[in-house]
Amino acid sequence: MKTRIGVLAHLGCLVLPAIVLLFLGQALAQDSGNSVAAAGLGIGLIVICLVFVAAGYIYMALALQTIANKTNTENSWLAWIPIANIILMLQIAKKPVWWIVLFLIPLVNIVFIIIVWMGVAEARGKPNWWGVLMIVPLANLVVPGVLAWAD
């Protein structure tokens, strides 16, 4: 689930500060004694990034909890706990729980995230290629919502 939070939140964390720094960077660079303004700008950018990350996490947790409820999977509240939500996804997709170890191996985790999301899509009665869309930027924000709230 952590990987699915990401694209919009990370995009917001990268693009928004770049835009702000582009317009305000020259103004701050000409006044070297204005460290309070620079600190305020930095704190503001961090707060904006945290808001985007929190919004993405809440969206993904709600979508996963709704998918778990609709597939009659026990303990749907696990969607809100960071590592436990992976276990919940494995239960929804009817995959072995030991696969959580595979989520910790770089590059291997991408393959298994796709396989698990394919299983989640099949559990919701959708074509399994919906799981492949989870590696497509911006589509990975739409897929969990469609799987959760489309009938």
- Which amino acid is residue 58, in one-letter code? I
First-residue to last-residue Cα distance in the chain: 22
What pLDDT was estimated at residue 17?
61
- What mean pLDDT comes out for the span 122-135? 92
pTM for this entry:
0.75
pLDDT-derived band at 36 (thresholds 50, 70, 90) equals confident
- What mean pLDDT comes out for the span 132-145? 92
Non-local (6+) Cβ contacts of 45 within 8 A are: 16, 17, 20
Q: How far apart are CA 57 and CA 59, in angstroms?
A: 5
Rounded alpha-carbon distances, angstroms, from residue 79 to 46, 49, 122, 135: 25, 22, 19, 20
Q: For the chain, give every domain's residue range.
A: 2-149
- The 10s digit of each residue's pLDDT in 64-77 is 999 999 999 999 99
- The 10s digit of each residue's pLDDT in 88-117 is 999 999 999 999 999 999 999 999 999 999
Q: Which helix (H) or strand (E) holds 24?
A: helix 2-30
